[in-house]
Amino acid sequence: MPEMMAWPRQDGRKGIRNVVLVAYLVECAHHVCKQIARPFDESDVQVIGFSGCFPSEYGQDMMTALCTHPNVGAVQLVSLGCENFKKSQLAESVRASGRPVNVVTIQEAGGTAAAVEAGRAWVAQTRAELQNLPMVAMQPSELVIGTICGGSDATSGITGNPAAGVAFDRLVSEGATCIFEETGELIGCEHVMAERAATDALRPAIVDTVAKAARYYADMGYGSFSNGNATGGLSTIEEKSLGAYAKSGQSQICGILRPAQRPATGGLYLLDVVPDGPPKHGFPNINDNAEIIELISCGAHAVIFVTGRGSVVGSAISPVLKVCANPETFTHMSGDMDVNAGRILDGGGQLHDVGTEIYEKLVALGAGARTASEALGHVEFVLTYKSQSPSNPACYPN
């Protein structure tokens, strides 16, 4: 296997990418960010941001976690000038993390053209400086990997998700950190999941987390089991949930994370994406990319994305490794896929073989390889309002 090389960060973490972020702090600065980033390659310079003008503790926490993510080398912040985002606080956090940071305020710069010019000049100079940074060796045990599934079909729970679970088990056994989520799709297997809790305190917390998600989605008028699921051969909510749950593998669950929270140790974590209390800002995550970015906010260097029907998305900041569960979809959309888990159905391999392939392709991402979505320029980013709920100290290891 090729050796991973990474950019060392001041906090001890290492990045497998060295992205310059151009970040808007309100939608009004989004266009200027796109213009700043336009001359550069998507793999080097990426646009993220928070659209809302009203204050958001969650938005602030997420942007702070993302701008100090190990895959990020430098940050250009763009403010309109009158939004509520605490930009000085964010800039100070980025500076304290040892990263170059620059703030352009459009109203002070003299409008769009001046702000774009100032931002581009800083990004170009900073890019050049970042290219001279020395890299260091990185071990698979230092990886943080997230997993989600989207565009699922009957094959997802048979091939792709269990294969992702095999890769997770290997990563966890080697000391890496793995994160799974989608508590709204784990309804019915919370007791099975709770049996894997590392501590007594964690066991009821896992059950409560899923019960909270069930309540939240029910309040939103949204059920988890559809007619299409039954047509595809799924008979019960437990069966559907176990198919999604298979992504987590067999390892002990060592903690429950909240968005933007860094796991303290290696091991397998459940990310609780559902806010406490009654629904306030709508669906916990409005689409797959909102979930992917929450995994990345916890420090994920890369995300395994299992799809059956054929999702094409990538993400800003961290590569998204596309595992295609359906062999027909893989043939039809092979340019968007990294791993053909559907070959299990064609007699082209066992779960273990595909799990090993996922593991090896994740490690290769740290040795110069790029995912299909990276090569195609996918850098999707979604961040909306959410109530930030405090983490329960009993739910993660010291």
Question: Binding residues for another protein, per CB under 8 A?
Answer: 153-155, 158, 162, 187-189, 192, 225, 227, 230, 232-239, 242-243, 245-246, 344-345, 347
Nearest CB to another protein, comparing residues 155 and 371: 155
Nearest CB to another protein, comparing residues 242 and 316: 242
Nearest CB to another protein, comparing residues 130 and 154: 154
> How open is the CA angle 220-224-230, to the nearest 5 degrees?
145
Closest distance to another protein from the beta carbon of 231 (Å)? 8
Nearest CB to another protein, comparing residues 80 and 193: 193
Closest distance to another protein from the beta carbon of 322 (Å)? 20
Closest distance to another protein from the beta carbon of 230 (Å)? 6
Nearest CB to another protein, comparing residues 250 and 287: 250
Contact 341, 310 (CB under 8 A): no
Three-state SS for 335?
A: helix
Closest distance to another protein from the beta carbon of 255 (Å)? 22
Nearest CB to another protein, comparing residues 227 and 398: 227
CA dihedral 261, 266, 270, 273 (to 10 degrees): 20
Residues 6+ apart with CB under 8 A from 282: 220, 384, 385
Closest distance to another protein from the beta carbon of 88 (Å)? 49
Give me the phi and psi of 29, to 5 degrees please.
Answer: -105, 5
* Bridge partners of residue 56, in order along the sequence: none
Contact 184, 217 (CB under 8 A): yes
Nearest CB to another protein, comparing residues 242 and 379: 242
Alpha-helix residue ranges (DSSP H) falling in the chain: 30-37, 57-67, 87-96, 106-109, 112-130, 161-173, 190-194, 202-219, 227-231, 237-245, 288-297, 327-332, 351-365, 372-375
Q: What is the DSSP letter of 160?
A: I
Closest distance to another protein from the beta carbon of 62 (Å)? 33
Nearest CB to another protein, comparing residues 72 and 344: 344
Amino acid (one-letter) located at 24: Y
Nearest CB to another protein, comparing residues 42 and 238: 238
C-alpha 229/C-alpha 237 separation (Å) is 9
Give the DSSP H or E segment for 147.
Answer: strand 144-149
Closest distance to another protein from the beta carbon of 282 (Å)? 24
* Bridge partners of residue 8, in order along the sequence: 14
Cα 228 to chain centroid distance, Å, stands at 27
C-alpha 92/C-alpha 82 separation (Å) is 19
Nearest CB to another protein, comparing residues 345 and 376: 345
Closest distance to another protein from the beta carbon of 300 (Å)? 25
Report CA Rg, the chain. Answer: 21
Closest distance to another protein from the beta carbon of 240 (Å)? 9
Closest distance to another protein from the beta carbon of 246 (Å)? 6
Alpha-helix residue ranges (DSSP H) falling in 271-395: 288-297, 327-332, 351-365, 372-375
